[in-house]
Chain A
């Protein structure tokens, strides 16, 4: 296993936008790929995710990252987790979480997922 790889699955243009922003702050990378659910339902969305994983993530530990826990994107990700296609599903993605995903590649699994999610959670707040 050489590294980790994931597909960000989200509504509208969010996944593309997040990865575009990630490239600006972290540089170009080859561990995350984007997919929109636009026009894709159920089995078609799962098939598209599986195809990207096969094409881009072969030989690496595979992850899915969705915008919401529920919703069709999160549901498709959960189904693929249940089938054993991926190691884990991270949901509620934001830019700080994706930065950790890219930079924590060498950490052990538990530390990797908990640190990435915690970073994303702690990035929320308000100044007023």
Chain B
């Protein structure tokens, strides 16, 4: 598989991604899937400042991602796919074949239950994770590669 990381992270492109994960997995491309960001050039330029040399970035809407990701999955180029929320990623796992594992990074925001220091989940989030698990997608929280992975979802909760 040429997508070496599917990650949900409200901060999208930030230190943990470009230092922690990119040093480990060496992507050539970071694809951000976010409808609002795909239309916002100022925000894109702010995120681009954090990308190391040698890595390209794309900002796609959900619709563009559904159309183009199958090609990325078949290509030999190593890519990260990032979304800021679980709903966008869950939609990708529904519409794009071949997503087997989703990494969960920073989800600090909101009033949900704190399941890890960097992850809060409300009922809607839990439902989305369970839906992905039911489709055979492993959903694993891990902020940086050196942390222990924590599987999320009903199966993990027992």
Contact = CB atoms under 8 A, between A and B. Distances in A.
Nearest to A11: B15
Contacts of B15: 11, 68, 70-72
B108 A75 contact: no
B10 interface: yes
A3 interface: no
Interface string B29-71: 0000000000000100011011100000000000000000000
Interface size on A, as a range, is: 10 to 19
B138 interface: no
B127 interface: no
B50 A69 contact: yes
Contacts of A78: 46, 49
Interface size on B, as a range, is: 10 to 19
A59 interface: no
B76 to A, nearest CB: 27
A41 B49 contact: no
Contacts of A74: 49-50
Interface of B: 10-11, 13-15, 18, 42, 46-47, 49-51, 106, 108-109, 117
- Give the top 5 A-B pairs by smallest Cβ distance, nearest first: A70-B50, A71-B15, A72-B14, A72-B11, A78-B46
